[in-house]
Structure 1
Amino acid sequence: MLTPSKKPSRPTTKKSPAAYKRLAILFLTILTLSSTLPTASYATVTKINDNTVQMSKADLKTLVSEIQTNKAKADALTEALASERAIFGAYEASIEQLIAVQQAERESAQAVIKQLQRQLNAPALELYTGYNSEDRWEGGIRIVWRLN
């Protein structure tokens, strides 16, 4: 039985800018969702009056430790985001520098091409010798224009 041949894929190690952009968007989405969703609290709280609540010491410790843990996670995410922004900024700057260098190279190449075209279209002096149509030997200098 014949099986269709699959085209082998090339393994690549370079990430495209679109992959970095998707990763950054995913990271920001997760960060936004984790900061806006309410966290579940299972502490037993009794309301004494409008300004006072009462809870057990164990629930208070759990609540405080969760707040500290969430604050540490948020700080770590903020630091990671700042680091990613710095890395992306450096990457973007290097890409802009590469584009500028390529533009300068392109302009210099176009200038060389224009100069060569002018030289090719310029009239040239040519020495010639040989027999003419009357079988006589002749020689001289002539000006030649090339039409392109």
Structure 2
Amino acid sequence: MDKRLRKTQRILKVQEQLQKMAEWRLASLKRQAIELRNAQEDLIQTLNHDDALHGLFVESTARRLQQLAAQEGQVEQAQSEQGKVVLDRAMQVKRTERIVDTLALEHRRAGEKKDGLALLDRLATKSDASLP
């Protein structure tokens, strides 16, 4: 097999793995964002319940809500950036796939041409070859 084709196929495999890793990171960020929203909802429900000790924990609960909101903002920004990385990786994979397809076609055509020339040489070297 052509050396360039083999190298390009290896590059394609690496790029596919990098794309999967980027997708996994994006999925992880999405899960993290959901967990932060759920934690905020739980704290808000806790604040809404009437409780005898309710007044003692309002300040700390409010601070925790602010922290969670800040973390959620950071996660959403990271999610946006990771989405761009995933898209970029997917485009790289597609470009490399096209290159591999082109090289494979060229390699196959070169093999067919070589086989055709070898056949013509054999036909031409036969002493009893009859032409149609």
Q: For the superposition of Structure 1 and Structure 2, which TM-score range results when normalised by the shorter chain?
A: 0.5 to 0.7
* Equivalent of residue 144 in structure 1, options 111, 118, 127: 127
Letter in 1 for 2:116: Q
**d(CA) in 1 for partners of 2:56 and 2:94?**
54
**d(CA) in 2 for partners of 1:106 and 1:116?**
15
The corresponding residue for 2:70 is 69
CA RMSD of aligned residues (A): 4.0
Q: Does the Cα contact within 8 Å between 1:48 and 1:54 map onto a contact in 2? A: no
Query: Are 1:86 and 2:93 counterparts?
Result: no
Give the direction of change, closer, same or farther, for the CA distance of 1:25–1:85 in structure 2 (3 Å limit): closer
Query: Are 1:16 and 2:14 counterparts?
Result: yes
Letter in 1 for 2:87: A
**d(CA) in 2 for partners of 1:45 and 1:36?**
20
**d(CA) in 1 for partners of 2:89 and 2:82?**
10
Give the direction of change, closer, same or farther, for the CA distance of 1:90–1:104 in structure 2 (3 Å limit): same
Name the SS for the 1:144 alignment partner. coil
**d(CA) in 2 for partners of 1:20 and 1:27?**
11
Structure 2 length as normaliser, TM-score? 0.56
* Equivalent of residue 34 in structure 1, options 7, 32, 35: 32
- C-alpha displacement at 1:99, in angstroms? 1.4
Bigger Rg, which one? 1
- C-alpha displacement at 1:97, in angstroms? 1.1
Letter in 2 for 1:27: R
More strand by share: 1
Q: Does the Cα contact within 8 Å between 2:29 and 2:78 map onto a contact in 1? A: yes
Partner deviation per Cα, 1:34-58 (whole Å, 9 max, x = no partner): 23545485xx847349xxx878774
More helix by share: 2
- C-alpha displacement at 1:100, in angstroms? 1.3
The corresponding residue for 1:109 is 110
Structure 2: any 5+ residue segments left out of the alignment? 1-10
**d(CA) in 2 for partners of 1:69 and 1:145?**
88
